[in-house]
Amino acid sequence: MMTYTVTVTVRLKRGVLDPEAETTKRALERLGFELEALRSADRFEVDLDADSASAAADRADEMAERLLANPTIHDYNVEVEGEDPE
């Protein structure tokens, strides 16, 4: 077993309105920044023990499916830090 840090990033599906991001974009524009678009996302960093990086990713995948993301409105991706031992 090894400890892995898995990062789960949850974002709204393309086409789903993000009123908070729109509000943030307008606030940045009021500050004088020029920007085309702004998207927000939630990022979860999970430390867990697993036999391999892919096993760690599978666990995080299940976490996203069951709780961290809502499949109706969200897409998510999972990244594992660290290599599997040779």
Partner 1 sequence: MRTRNDDGFRGYDTNCRFPPQEVVAVTVAVVQFGGSNCDRDAVRALSHLGVDAERVWHEDGLPEDTEGIVVPGGFSYGDYLRAGAMAAHSPIMNAVRDAAADGVPVLGVCNGAQIGCEAGLTPGAFTTNASARFQCEYVHLRIENADTPWTAAYDEGEIVSVPIAHGEGRFEIANDRYDDLVADDRVLFRYCDADGNVTDDANPNGSKGNVAGILGQRETVAVLMPHPERASLPDLNRSVDGRGILQVFG
Contact set with partner 1 (CB under 8 A) = 16-20, 22-23, 66-68, 70, 72-73
CA atoms within 13 A on the CB side of 1: 5
User: With respect to partner 1, which residue has the nearer C-beta, 15 or 32?
Assistant: 15
If you count them, how many residues does the chain have?
A: 86
Give residues with Cβ within 8 angstroms of 17, minimum separation 6.
Answer: none
Least distance in Å: CB of 83 to partner 1? 31
Closest to partner 1 by CB, 28 vs 73, is 73
* Partner residues linked to 9 by β-bridges: 43, 77
Nearer to partner 1, 19 or 32 (CB): 19
Residue 35 C-beta: closest distance to partner 1, Å: 18
- E-strand stretches of 1-86: 2-12, 41-50, 74-81
